[in-house]
Amino acid sequence: MKNIKWMFNESLPMEMHKARIVQKINLLEPKKRLEAIKEAGFNTFLLKNHDVFLDMLTDSGVNAMSDKQQAAMLQADDSYAGSETFFRLEAAIQKMFGMKFFLPAHQGRACEHIISKALVNKGEAVLMNYHFTTSKAHVVLEGGFVEELITDEGLNLNSTCQFKGNVDIDKLKDRIEKLGSKNIAFVRMEAGTNLIGGQPFSLENFEKVSKICKSNDIPLVLDASLLSDNLHFIKTREENCKNMSINEITLKLGALSDIVYFSARKLGSARGGVICTSSENLFKKMQGFIPLFEGFLTYGGMSVREMEAIAVGLEETMDEDVISQGPIFIEFMVKELLKRGIPVVTPAGGLGCHLNAMKFLEHLPQTEYPAGALAAALFIVSGARGMERGTISEQRDENGVEPLANMELLRLALPRRVFTVSHIMFVVDRLEWLFKNRHLIGGLEWSEEPEILRFFFGKLKAKGDWPEKLLENFEKDFGDSL
Ligand SMILES: *Cc1c(COP(=O)(O)O)cnc(C)c1O
């Protein structure tokens, strides 16, 4: 963001854009919100968007698009083979990452499917700074296994470390030595490490990882889905990068990687998936899977209109004013929550704001799903929808035993360029009230628990009548206010 000082002693995040297309949102009355969350089985994934006021579930496919992206969609070329749209997107990717070859796929997990199919053999390891749900699943599906090499500081919910997404270099060297480089399919670095709070890696760390991979002949794969936030943090937090442009940093990352892939539902602010590489050998290994699983090589399952929007979105990602919006709004929200003593993951990262539900609801055991209960309670008092990232998001093992998650987080995603300061302050206000009344929030238990991906469509119920009591107290304090 441009350096803008205020006359009074406080600074607010500033939007470097204005709204020209808007979507009306509804704030239901509190009683209706309670009904809606009950109907949804206390699972925010099952709420209807009509009943949601501020949708902070995810940043996937819901970032605001620019006027230029919308305009570009009109020139989409539907030709099956040789489509001009393909070449425009290819050129945008080459300019951004400096990589010659581009393969299209329908979204991020499809890229992971293709990369794992091409590179992972049974029994092989994939080393990562940290896993993402779908990236791990595709490695395991091919018979491989995942090891995480995040620094200890990365798992510390309240740290001053500016790059919690870094790989522990000693652990990396040690694992390569113990496993043997032949048994390692690839090393995967995730930008803006999603599941630990949108935390970045540094360019310095990435350079070290790349060097080690090269000398051991192991491909380095960059998951760039959340790269825009990570680029902002490299630029603003890393001394050696202060004078580099965003594109220079991105080109450097491209030069250090063997494969870059991303979900264009996040990076590029449209909907799709991209794999790129400079290696003809790797390109050829992956190429055949695209027409088999995704679609012809010119679109890979994406709509050509989306591809046009991605091309423009990627170009816009090289603009600091565009990519700083998310992190600056998140930092503002984190600061406001800290002022009120509300437990939140620090330092502020990308993607969203992550509340520490285990600390917020100290009285609840993890087996009663504090992060899920907090998500439901927040919806009842505000109509804002977050995402549980805790034990509900885990899967039972083959004996039916439920592993407790490392962290119980309530993630409040801030899709890019969507919300205003008043939206954020409204959620902060309701969270402050909830924190003061946290003893009213009780636990959850399953009523319908699917065997796979239970967090997406499983249903829970409240233990006791705490949601009704919560509503009663809310109405006592807020009267007839929504
Ligand atoms: C969202 C995401 C993916 C998967 O992308 P989809 O488009 O949702 O399939 C992979 N990696 C990271 C880091 C993500 O955030």
| Tokens of residue 212, six digits | 């080690």
Higher-confidence position of 476 and 11: 476
Cα 391 from Cα 449, distance rounded (Å): 13
Residue nearest atom 3 of ligand 1, based on CA coordinates? 108
Atom in ligand 1 nearest the alpha carbon of residue 273: 7
Residue nearest atom 12 of ligand 1, based on CA coordinates? 225
Cα 53 from Cα 8, distance rounded (Å): 31
Grade residue 342 by pLDDT with cuts at 50, 70 and 90: very high
Supply the pLDDT for residue 9. 74
Residue nearest atom 5 of ligand 1, based on CA coordinates? 108
Supply the pLDDT for residue 190. 98
Grade residue 410 by pLDDT with cuts at 50, 70 and 90: very high
pLDDT of residue 84 exceeding 70: yes
Report the share of the chain in percent with pLDDT over 90. Answer: 95
Supply the pLDDT for residue 452. 83
Supply the pLDDT for residue 1. 60
Tell me which residues are annotated as active site. Answer: 80, 132-133, 223, 266, 389, 455
Supply the pLDDT for residue 2. 67
Query: Cα dihedral angle (421, 427, 433, 435), rounded to 10 degrees?
Result: -110
pLDDT of residue 3 exceeding 80: no
Q: Which of 45, 57, 132, 139 to mutate to test the pocket of ligand 1 (most atoms within 8 A of CB)?
A: 132
Q: In angstroms, what is the span from residue 443 Cα to ligand 1's centroid?
A: 30
Residues 123-181: pLDDT tens digits?
Answer: 999 999 999 989 999 999 999 999 999 999 999 999 999 999 999 999 999 999 999 99
Q: In angstroms, what is the span from residue 169 Cα to ligand 1's centroid?
A: 25
pLDDT of residue 390 exceeding 90: yes
Cβ burial of 242 (10 Å; 0-12, 13-18, 19+) is exposed
Residues 93-107: pLDDT tens digits?
Answer: 999 999 999 999 999
Supply the pLDDT for residue 139. 97
Q: In angstroms, what is the span from residue 266 Cα to ligand 1's centroid?
A: 8
Residues 178-232: pLDDT tens digits?
Answer: 999 999 999 999 999 999 999 999 999 999 999 999 999 999 999 999 999 999 9
| Interacting residues of 356 by C-beta distance below 8 A, sequence separation 6+ | 157, 158, 343, 344, 345, 407, 408, 409
Q: In angstroms, what is the span from residue 33 Cα to ligand 1's centroid?
A: 30
Atom in ligand 1 nearest the alpha carbon of residue 271: 7
Supply the pLDDT for residue 425. 97
Supply the pLDDT for residue 453. 84
pLDDT of residue 406 exceeding 90: no
**C-alpha angle 171/175/181, rounded to 5°?**
135
Q: Which of 134, 146, 199 to mutate to test the pocket of ligand 1 (most atoms within 8 A of CB)?
A: 134
Q: In angstroms, what is the span from residue 113 Cα to ligand 1's centroid?
A: 12
User: Which residues sit opposite 101 in a β-bridge?
Assistant: 277
Grade residue 7 by pLDDT with cuts at 50, 70 and 90: confident
Pairing assessment for the beta strands 273-277 and 101-105 based on DSSP bridges = antiparallel
Atom in ligand 1 nearest the alpha carbon of residue 110: 9
Atom in ligand 1 nearest the alpha carbon of residue 190: 13
Residue in the block written with tokens 């992971």: 112
Q: Which of 106, 109, 189, 416 to mutate to test the pocket of ligand 1 (most atoms within 8 A of CB)?
A: 109
- For ligand 1, residues with CB inside 6 Å are 60, 107-109, 132, 134-135, 190, 194, 223, 225-226, 263, 265-266, 273
Q: In angstroms, what is the span from residue 321 Cα to ligand 1's centroid?
A: 24
Task: Tell me the whole-structure pTM to 2 decimals.
Answer: 0.96
Cα 376 from Cα 383, distance rounded (Å): 10
Supply the pLDDT for residue 357. 98
What the chain holds in terms of domains, given with CATH numbers, is 30-59+321-478 (3.90.1150.10), 67-318 (3.40.640.10)
Cα 440 from Cα 213, distance rounded (Å): 52
Cα 367 from Cα 463, distance rounded (Å): 12
Residues 260-318: pLDDT tens digits?
Answer: 999 999 999 999 999 999 999 999 999 999 999 999 999 999 999 999 999 999 999 99
Higher-confidence position of 397 and 212: 212
